[in-house]
Structure 1
C-alpha cells in the first residue's frame, strides 16, 4: 500500500468530526400522565418538583443505545438529576460533564384561574404560550433559542476533536437543538423519536 495514501487517509479520518448523539433522559419518578388534575399554582409547584426528580427505580438504558456509545465518547448532560443519571448509564462509569446550558426549556405556569387540568394538558398550554412569548419571570423563548445556539456550538466544538459527543438532555430542548445543528451543516442520520431513552444521531455533512 502507498505510504503517502495511508498517511493521507489517517489525516482525513483524524480531521473528521465525531458524531453528535442527543438522548432524551429515561423515565423519571414524576411524570405528567400520572398526576391528578390541578390548578395553575399547583401545576407551578408540580413542574418545580418534576425538574428536580430522579429516574424511576429500575430504569435501564436500552442495549441498542448503549451500543452507539463508543468507549472514547465525550459524555455530557444537563444539570437536572434525571439527565445526569441517564448520562451515568450511558457512560458506564466514565466521567460525565453536566451543564445547565443543556437544561430543559421552562414551562411557566399560565394564570388561568382555578380551572383544574392534568399536568400533561398544562404542559401543552404552557409550552404554546411560552412559544408565543409568555415567560412568567422565567427564561424567555428568545433567550432559550440563544442558549440552544450556544449549546449547539459547544457540541460541535467537542465533536471537532474527532470523538463522538453524547448528550443526555430533555425533550423540548433537544428539539430546539435540531435546527441549530442543521444550520451548521449537521445531518440527522438516525431519528429515534421523542420518548424516554430515545436518541438522534447527527453527522457533519
Structure 2
C-alpha cells in the first residue's frame, strides 16, 4: 500500500521573515540656521522635497540586508528614494506613500523666538503628539492608523516567509515599530534614530 502523506507532512511550517526598517541618509538641507516658527514651516517644506547630501556611503550591513531580502519598499519622498538607490544597487524596489514621515507643523510660538531646526523639530513633534497641533495636516490619530496599516502589510509579508526592507523616515519608522510590537512581533535590532540606522523585527 502506498504511503499516505498528511497535510502537515506535505506543508512544513513557514519560517517567518524579518522586517527591517531603515532611516534615510543625511539630507542636503543645512540645519545650521536659527528660525522662528513660520520660518521653520518653510524650512520643513523644503526638507520634505529635498534629497541627500552628496558624498555619503551606506553602511555595509544595510547593503548586505538589501542584497538578501525579498521585498524592498521606499517612501515616496526624494530623500528615501535616493537612499534606496544608494543601498539596493540594481535591485528593483517599490515606492509607497504609506511610509512617508509624519508631519511636523511648526509650534504656535511668537515670531521673536528663534532656535535651530533640530530643536524646533523636537517641539513641533511634542505639540503634534501631545496637543494635537496639526495645522490642518495629518493628525496623530490619523498617523497611528497609517502606521498600523503599514505594520499589517509588513507583518503579512513576513508571515508568508518574506524578508522585507523599508527605507523611510525616523519618527514614522518608530511608529511602525511600535505597531509591530503591538501585533506580537519581536524586536531583534534597534540602532536608534540616526541616519542610515535600522530596526529589525520578526515573529518569535
Instruction: Tell me if both proteins adopt one fold, taking TM over 0.5 as the criterion.
Output: yes
Say if 1:20 and 1:159, in contact at 8 Å, map to a contact too.
Answer: yes
Partner of 1:123: 121
1:191 aligns with 2:190: yes
Q: 1:150 offset after TM fit, Å?
A: 0.4
Q: Indicate how the Cα distance of structure 1 residues 204 and 9 shifts in structure 2: closer, same or farther if over 3 A, else same.
A: farther
Say if 2:158 and 2:202, in contact at 8 Å, map to a contact too.
Answer: no
**Which stretches in structure 1 are left out of the alignment for 5+ residues?**
none
Say if 1:83 and 1:170, in contact at 8 Å, map to a contact too.
Answer: yes
1:168 aligns with 2:167: yes
Counting matched residue pairs gives 196
Say if 1:70 and 1:164, in contact at 8 Å, map to a contact too.
Answer: no
Q: Indicate how the Cα distance of structure 1 residues 9 and 182 shifts in structure 2: closer, same or farther if over 3 A, else same.
A: farther
Partner of 1:138: 137
Counterpart CA distance in 2 for 1:68 and 1:202 is 13
Tell me which moved more, 136-145 or 61-70: 61-70
Supply the RMSD in Å over aligned alpha carbons: 1.8
Q: What is the TM-score when the length of structure 2 is the normalising length?
A: 0.90
Among candidates 39, 43, 66, match of residue 63 of structure 2: 66
Counterpart CA distance in 1 for 2:38 and 2:98 is 27
Q: 1:31 offset after TM fit, Å?
A: 4.4
Q: Indicate how the Cα distance of structure 1 residues 182 and 70 shifts in structure 2: closer, same or farther if over 3 A, else same.
A: same
Counterpart CA distance in 2 for 1:9 and 1:18 is 21
Q: 1:10 offset after TM fit, Å?
A: 7.7
Counterpart CA distance in 2 for 1:137 and 1:60 is 37
Say if 2:69 and 2:164, in contact at 8 Å, map to a contact too.
Answer: no
Counterpart CA distance in 2 for 1:140 and 1:162 is 33
Q: 1:183 offset after TM fit, Å?
A: 1.4
Counterpart CA distance in 1 for 2:178 and 2:192 is 15
Counterpart CA distance in 2 for 1:130 and 1:9 is 52
Partner of 2:24: 25
1:11 aligns with 2:9: no
CA deviation string 1:157-203 (max 9, x = no partner): 22233221000111100111122101111111111121000001111
SS at match of 1:11: coil
**Which stretches in structure 2 are left out of the alignment for 5+ residues?**
none
Partner of 2:44: 47
Say if 1:105 and 1:172, in contact at 8 Å, map to a contact too.
Answer: yes
Partner of 1:202: 201
SS at match of 1:178: helix
CA deviation string 1:43-86 (max 9, x = no partner): 10000000111111112111122222343521001110111111
